[in-house]
Amino acid sequence: MTNINDDIQRLPKIMNGTFDGDWSSIYSRNTEDLNRIVSHIDFRNKEIYSVLASSDILFYLYLNGAKRVDTFDINPLTYRYYYLRKWLLENGLLDARNLNIKEIEAIIKSHRNANDINERESCLLWQYYLDLRQKEKFYEERLFSFYSNALFEKCNTNFDFPYSEEDIKKLLNILNSNKLNFEVIDISSDSYNNSKKYDIVYLSNILDCKTANNVKIVMNNMKKLLKDSGIVVCTNMVNHPYFDLLSEQIKTFSECFEYETLDVELRGITKAPVKYYKYTKK
């Protein structure tokens, strides 16, 4: 859960560049070849713990038969973005890329009297975001784009999500009957604790730039979080000038996990290729 007052205080700091902390931007859409992952991992009837990020992974897991997906992220605003994505889906949209300010404002405002307090609070945050945008120095309505660089990582990837109208209907049914379970956590913290056990944990580019000590802590957290033979699905940039610690990571995980590369095409939003792999608990 996140606290709306904290979220509202955090927002202008992120927008004006004074926020002190990592991972403050929100990924607007998925960065991964999720379509191909399903040919390697069976998500059907599985209990899954996944990073929330753009919400596409959560949507994808549910569309591919997951029984239950609980989510986490170090960035609390990903929770607010989840609600916005859900409202966009209700309007048949996958993101807010092509909306002008009046259109997105109408979608946000239509939830201000929602029954669910999380929806009402998320509505406050997004209305505040639009107000901040309109106060920007060179703001011009005709040039408006919802995804400001200050708050969002724009993800113009080639990984078009296979959403048909049917998928959107099915997804909304699932989302409406499974209230989002979300925690703000740092998965590399050694004080992390969770009594629930999962079949799969989905990490996405989280281990790329972690120190050896952090990787060891994540490995221990994964061990605690997974049922016997449970798996961690990971993606990692390789051949990147700063983030290429994969071989050390594999060594650390080998204490308690088997490593297996997934045969998924190597491409990503950065120029560095991305490796897809899984660790299975020994």
Ligand X SMILES: C[S@@+](CC[C@H](N)C(=O)[O-])C[C@H]1O[C@@H](n2cnc3c(N)ncnc32)[C@H](O)[C@@H]1O
List interacting residues with ligand X (CB under 6 A).
23, 27, 30-32, 51, 53-54, 56-57, 72-75, 78, 185-188, 204-206
Q: Which residue has the tokens 């989905």?
A: 202
Q: State the Cα–Cα distance between residues 22 and 24, nearest whole angstrom.
A: 6
Shortest reach from residue 255's CB to ligand X, in Å: 20
Q: Of 27 and 182, which has the nearer Cβ to ligand X?
A: 27
Residue number, 19 or 144, with CB nearest to ligand X: 19
Cβ at position 112, least distance to ligand X in Å: 26
Q: Taking the complex as a whole, how short is the minimal distance between the CB of residue 244 and ligand X, in angstroms?
A: 16
Question: Which one, 100 or 239, has the nearer CB to ligand X?
Answer: 239
Give the C-alpha separation, 81 to 27, whole Å: 9
Q: Which is nearer to ligand X, 78 or 118 (CB)?
A: 78
Nearest approach, Cβ of residue 24 and ligand X (Å): 8
CA dihedral 198, 200, 206, 212 (to 10 degrees): 80
Which DSSP category does 75 fall into?
-
Nearest-angstrom CA–CA distance, 173 and 169: 6
Those residues with Cβ within 8 angstroms of residue 11's Cβ, 6 or more apart along the chain or in another chain: 77, 125, 128, 129, 132, 151
Pick the closer one to ligand X by CB: 118 or 204: 204
Residue closest to ligand X (Cβ):
53
User: CB atoms < 10 A from the CB of 265, how many?
Assistant: 9
CA atoms within 13 A on the CB side of 35: 7
- Least distance to ligand X from the beta carbon of 159, Å? 8
Nearer Cβ to ligand X, position 104 or 187? 187
Task: Count other C-beta atoms under 10 Å from residue 52's C-beta.
Answer: 27
* Closest approach of ligand X to the CB of residue 202, in Å: 9
